[in-house]
Structure 1
Amino acid sequence: MPPRRSHKKSRSGCRRCKARKIKCDEVHPRCGNCVKHGVPCDFEHPEVLAELHAAAAAAAAGPESPSTPATTVNFASPLPQHSRAASVIPGPSGVAAPLCRPPPTPAVSQTTPPGQRLLELRLMHQYTAMTCKTFTFTAPVTEDIWKITVPNLAFSGSQHLADAILAVAALHLRSMVPNDKELVRASHAYMAASLAEYSSALTKGINHTNAESLFLTSALIAFQSTATRVFMKDEVMVGGAGGDIDAEASKHRNHPSGCYSIPFSWFHSFQGVKAITAASWQYLRVSPVVTQVINSQAALQLDFSTGPETFFGHLLEGLDEELAAMSGASNSTSTTSGTTPLAPGSGHPLHTPTTPATPTSPDYQHSPATAERIASTRQAYLHAVAVLNWAHKIPHKGAPLAFPATVSRRYIELLEERRPRALAILACFFALLKSMDAVWWLQGMARREVLGVVSLFNSDFFGADAYRTWWPHLEWAMRIALYEPPPGGDRGGAIPPEIWGADWYEEERALAEGQARHGGYVRHIELLSQMGSAVQSIPSVPEFVPVMGPP
Structure 2
Amino acid sequence: MPSRRHHTKTRSGCSACKARRVKCDENRPVCKHCIRRGTECSYPLSSSAIDVRPETQVQDDDVQVSHDAPSGEVFDAMDLMLMHRFCTSTSLNLFPSLNQHQQHVWQIVVPAKAESYRILRHGILSLAALDLAVNGEEIAQSTTPKSTYHARSLHHQQISLSLFQDLLKDESNDAKEVAFLFSVMLAILAFGSIHSVDAAPTTNDVFDHFALFRGPRALWQFQSALSGEELVESLFPGGRVHSPRDGDSDDKPFPELDALCLDSVCADAVAVIRRAWIAVQLQPDNIRAMGYFPAMMSQDFCKQAREGRPNALTVMRYQVPILKKFENIWWVGPWHKLLESAIDGVAHRVGI
Measured against the shorter chain, the TM-score band is 0.5 to 0.7
Asked if structure 2 preserves the Cα contact closer than 8 Å seen for 1:160 and 1:194, the reply is yes
Shift of 1:180: 4.0
Counterpart-to-counterpart distance in 1, 2:223 and 2:282: 31
User: Equivalences for 1:538-549 in 2 at 5 Å?
Assistant: none
Asked if structure 2 preserves the Cα contact closer than 8 Å seen for 1:206 and 1:280, the reply is no
> What's 1:549 paired with?
none
Classify the secondary structure of the residue corresponding to 1:210. helix
> What's 2:83 paired with?
124
> What's 2:210 paired with?
266
Alignment root-mean-square deviation, CA: 3.2
Counterpart-to-counterpart distance in 2, 1:290 and 1:392: 21
> What's 2:325 paired with?
435
Asked if structure 2 preserves the Cα contact closer than 8 Å seen for 1:430 and 1:446, the reply is yes
Q: How many pairs were matched up?
A: 274
Classify the secondary structure of the residue corresponding to 1:412. helix
2:316 equivalent among 426, 451, 458: 426
Percentage identity across paired residues of the two chains: 19
- 1:220 equivalent to 2:220? Answer no
Classify the secondary structure of the residue corresponding to 1:382. helix
Asked if structure 1 preserves the Cα contact closer than 8 Å seen for 2:130 and 2:153, the reply is yes
Asked if structure 2 preserves the Cα contact closer than 8 Å seen for 1:302 and 1:387, the reply is no
Structure with bigger gyration radius: 1
Classify the secondary structure of the residue corresponding to 2:293. helix
AA at the equivalent of 1:265: H
Asked if structure 1 preserves the Cα contact closer than 8 Å seen for 2:320 and 2:336, the reply is yes
Counterpart-to-counterpart distance in 1, 2:167 and 2:159: 12
Asked if structure 2 preserves the Cα contact closer than 8 Å seen for 1:161 and 1:214, the reply is no
Shift of 1:433: 1.8
> What's 2:121 paired with?
162
Counterpart-to-counterpart distance in 1, 2:219 and 2:196: 27
Asked if structure 2 preserves the Cα contact closer than 8 Å seen for 1:316 and 1:381, the reply is no
Counterpart-to-counterpart distance in 1, 2:126 and 2:92: 16
Asked if structure 1 preserves the Cα contact closer than 8 Å seen for 2:186 and 2:215, the reply is no
Change (3 A) 1:389 1:445: same
Change (3 A) 1:150 1:277: farther
Shift of 1:209: 2.8
Counterpart-to-counterpart distance in 2, 1:456 and 1:410: 17
Asked if structure 1 preserves the Cα contact closer than 8 Å seen for 2:130 and 2:189, the reply is yes
Counterpart-to-counterpart distance in 1, 2:78 and 2:151: 11
AA at the equivalent of 1:124: M
Shift of 1:186: 1.2
- 1:186 equivalent to 2:152? Answer yes
Gaps of 5+ in 2: 1-55, 60-70, 138-144
Counterpart-to-counterpart distance in 1, 2:146 and 2:95: 27
Residues 489-521 of structure 1: CA distance to partner in whole angstroms, max 9, x if unpaired?
A: xxxxxxxxxxxxxxxxxxxxxxxxxxxxxxxxx
AA at the equivalent of 2:209: S
Residues 181-220 of structure 1: CA distance to partner in whole angstroms, max 9, x if unpaired?
A: 4323211111111111112222x33312311111101110
Classify the secondary structure of the residue corresponding to 1:396. coil
Gaps of 5+ in 1: 1-63, 65-69, 71-109, 238-242, 245-260, 324-373, 467-551
> What's 1:298 paired with?
239
Asked if structure 2 preserves the Cα contact closer than 8 Å seen for 1:437 and 1:445, the reply is yes
Shift of 1:316: 3.3
Counterpart-to-counterpart distance in 2, 1:454 and 1:416: 11
> What's 2:270 paired with?
381
Asked if structure 1 preserves the Cα contact closer than 8 Å seen for 2:114 and 2:121, the reply is yes
Counterpart-to-counterpart distance in 1, 2:323 and 2:338: 11
Shift of 1:414: 2.8
Change (3 A) 1:313 1:133: farther
> What's 1:408 paired with?
298
Classify the secondary structure of the residue corresponding to 1:311. coil
Counterpart-to-counterpart distance in 1, 2:208 and 2:146: 27
> What's 1:92 paired with?
none
Shift of 1:162: 0.9
Shift of 1:387: 2.4
Asked if structure 1 preserves the Cα contact closer than 8 Å seen for 2:150 and 2:193, the reply is no
Change (3 A) 1:196 1:112: closer
State the structure with bigger RCO (CA 8 A, min sep 6), 1 or 2: 1
> What's 2:105 paired with?
145
TM-score by length of 1: 0.45
> What's 1:197 paired with?
163
User: Equivalences for 1:322-341 in 2 at 5 Å?
Assistant: 323=262
Counterpart-to-counterpart distance in 2, 1:410 and 1:307: 27
1:312 equivalent among 205, 230, 254: 254
Asked if structure 1 preserves the Cα contact closer than 8 Å seen for 2:86 and 2:124, the reply is yes
AA at the equivalent of 1:263: F
AA at the equivalent of 1:159: R
Asked if structure 1 preserves the Cα contact closer than 8 Å seen for 2:127 and 2:153, the reply is yes
Residues 300-326 of structure 1: CA distance to partner in whole angstroms, max 9, x if unpaired?
A: 23327896853322233222xxx4xxx
- 1:230 equivalent to 2:230? Answer no
Shift of 1:170: 0.5
> What's 2:33 paired with?
none
> What's 2:350 paired with?
461
Asked if structure 2 preserves the Cα contact closer than 8 Å seen for 1:226 and 1:266, the reply is yes
AA at the equivalent of 1:271: R
